[in-house]
Amino acid sequence: MQTEKATFAGGCFWCMTPPFEKLDGVSSVVSGYIGGTGPNPTYEDYAQKGYIEAVQISFDPTKVSYQQLLRVFWMQINPADSGGQFADRGPQYRSAIFFHDEKQKQLAENSKTDLAKSGRFSQPIATEILPLTAFYPAEEYHQDYYKKNLLNYESYRLGSGRDQFLKKIWGDAAKRQDPPSSLVEQKKPSRDDLKQRLTPLQFKITQEKGTEPAFNNEYWNNERPGIYVDIVSGEPLFSSLDKYASGTGWPSFTRPLEPGNIVERKDRSLFAARIEVRSKMGDSHLGHVFNDGPPPTGLRYCMNSSALRFIPKEDLEKEGYGQYVPLFKNKN
């Protein structure tokens, strides 16, 4: 399993642990202190030393992306509050993203910009984006506090006003553990609208589980750098960095760009059982996934070109996918 780390501060670290632990691909969430001076802070002195309560997440990027973690992070906090979070006041409870490398920094900044543009908050986004500094795990009794002291945790969380605020801003999405593909909610167009928007072949494939001819489709041999999005919803699905020549005549990928945007279902429409691949938000039929792909995943996501729209790297910013620009830095 590949492992990367993400570090977020969102007020009380008790409340920041559960949303991330429930994500597929997250192996651990550690509560701790970061951003201060002096070694070995404790719960008794971390605020005086300038530390912030935070969580450090270990995750498998082939299952959950850093962008998804960012979206979950934003949906747990009030990013317009510079004086703390909810009932907890003071700089030790302020929100911040601590980036581990330049790629995370760029993705965090793009995500923050997208949130500001979404119009959900009338005040400026106050969440800081800071370089990673020494992270000190908190005392053992703080780890997974919501599991060890459920009644106390639920009482504290209810009294803090966090859930009430998040429901007001995000509605029912605040309760879901799966991160949305966008900070701006979108709805799938009606069937009649799709018939007007899509070509007959696009409609047949995405809405009626059709299959286009091998070697006679738009992207099977496309080698340009960029990303592939759902033709219906625009949600990001695959990257050219994971595309390979499978010899099948359809565009094939070793893994999704955004695993959370992919839904897999058993498909028994032919004689052999297969795994259908659909987009989460658009609910479009995309193709199938097989276990005969190359390393590192051993998977072959065999997609229909007509279910996808390709966005070249030079158009990512103007098309609204600027968060993916860093992926193609120094790539031809």
Kind plus residue range of the DSSP H or E element containing 169: helix 162-170
Closest listed residue to residue 34, CA positions, set 137, 139, 112: 137
Residue 115 structure tokens: 């949130």
Quote the distance between the C-alpha of residue 315 and its chain's center: 21
Place of tokens 């991330």: 20
Q: Rounded CA gap, 7 and 5, in Å?
A: 7
Residue 303 near residue 198, CB atoms below 8 Å: no
Kind plus residue range of the DSSP H or E element containing 267: strand 262-267
Residue among 12, 75, 227, 303 flagged as catalytic: 12
Residue 93 near residue 52, CB atoms below 8 Å: yes
Is beta strand 52-59 parallel, antiparallel or unpaired with respect to 262-267? unpaired
- Respond yes or no: is residue 12 known to be catalytic: yes
Q: Rounded CA gap, 16 and 11, in Å?
A: 8
Closest listed residue to residue 251, CA positions, set 274, 282, 229, 273: 229
Residue among 15, 75, 302, 303 flagged as catalytic: 302
Kindly tell me the sign of the dihedral angle through the C-alpha atoms of 39, 44, 45, 48.
positive
Sheet containing strand 226-230, strands side by side: 236-239, 226-230, 308-312
- Respond yes or no: is residue 15 known to be catalytic: no
With b for 16 or more beta-carbon neighbours within 10 A and e for fewer, the 163-181 pattern comes to: eebbeebbeeebeeeebbb
Place of tokens 């001076």: 37
The catalytic residues are 12, 302
